[in-house]
Structure 1
Amino acid sequence: MEYREFDKLRDVADVRVAARPVLTRRERLERWATLLEQDPARRLRSLGEIETKTAAERVQMRSPDSPLTVAFEDKILRADGLASDRLGDAIDYFEMTDDDAHRLLCSCMNGWTMSAGKVARGVRNLANPDTRLQSAAWVVAGAFLVTPVLMLFFG
């Protein structure tokens, strides 16, 4: 077998690079939730007091048998780009905010262990935020802002 550089190989063969399908944020979160729901009673370890760590420490945080371990054990999520079961990689891959990760994975919010089913519900909430609640909040906020103006004009 002869070694040839990729660009030179194009001259002698029809080379196509297959595009890897990329999951959307929602699809990634839904898959993670589905994996957790396969054994909803399974006890998983939380991450210890995320809020007390520096930013550099937070990205390196991991715990064996955590919800992040469940995600990283899945070959589809790994193939799609989940680099490890460390908090920083999970935040980047699942596009979570620090607050999302804290509420979902921290020991101060969940105790030192939590059921996979409970975590799955939290992950599904991240995947499918209740837009009706957000809309209602905007309506209430708008009413508070508009009411003084209306009182001024129609007082």
Structure 2
Amino acid sequence: MKYQTLEELNAVAEVEPSFPAMTRTQRLEHWAMLLERNPERCIVAFPGTEYMTLDVRHKGQCVGSALSIAFADPVLRAQGLKDDTYGEAKRFFELAEWQLHAIVCHCHVGATMKAGWAAVQVRSAIDKDSKLFSKLREAIARRPVFRILTHLRE
């Protein structure tokens, strides 16, 4: 076996550092930490996600949003974050539709929000099963009438 330096290997192959896989909680904690680095930073909110069709919502992007901050981070990209779309964030962070909506939608804050506010919303999604309101919201979302109305809106 021939010994080669990292620089020599980079000349013939793409060498990427190996990171242990992060859990859902670790990914969300990391995202919150990124937002908390500059809590007064003004970030863009997604307009009316609840009124978009499912396809449009999942492809939606906003430059300067909380999702852009997550995608700009090399650690989250190395963990598998593919882009800064709404649908990719939902998949990667394993968020329910209402959780991601609470983090990025304008209906709670207007066109912009403080990064610190978004961080609080991200942290509230970490322990999604322990809060009574979360359990109630999930129970209501599973009701047939709610699903039909949601489907009609999408």
What is residue 151 of structure 1 aligned with on the other side? Answer: none
After the TM superposition, list the runs of 4 or more consecutive aligned residues in structure 1 that deviate by more than 4 angstroms: none
TM-score, with length taken from structure 1: 0.71
Gaps spanning 5+ residues in structure 1: where? 1-17, 139-155
The amino acid of 1:104's aligned partner reads I
Cα distance per residue 1:46-95 (max 9 Å; x no partner): 01100110000011111000000000000000000001010000000000
Q: Quick one: structure 1 residues 36 and 19, their matched pair in 2 at CA, closer, same or farther if it must change by over 3 Å? A: closer
Matches within 5 A, 1:102-141: 102-129=101-128, 131=130, 133-134=131-132
What is residue 29 of structure 1 aligned with on the other side? Answer: 28
The amino acid of 1:115's aligned partner reads K
TM-score, with length taken from structure 2: 0.71
Gaps spanning 5+ residues in structure 2: where? 1-16, 137-154
The number of equivalent residue pairs is 118
Structure 2 distance, partners of 1:99, 1:32, is 18
What is residue 14 of structure 2 aligned with on the other side? Answer: none
SS at match of 1:81: coil
Structure 1 distance, partners of 2:54, 2:71, is 22
SS at match of 2:25: helix
The amino acid of 2:75's aligned partner reads I
What is residue 85 of structure 1 aligned with on the other side? Answer: 84
Structure 1 distance, partners of 2:19, 2:50, is 36
SS at match of 2:38: coil
> Percent identity at matched positions?
36
SS at match of 1:44: strand
**Greater Rg over alpha carbons, structure:** 1
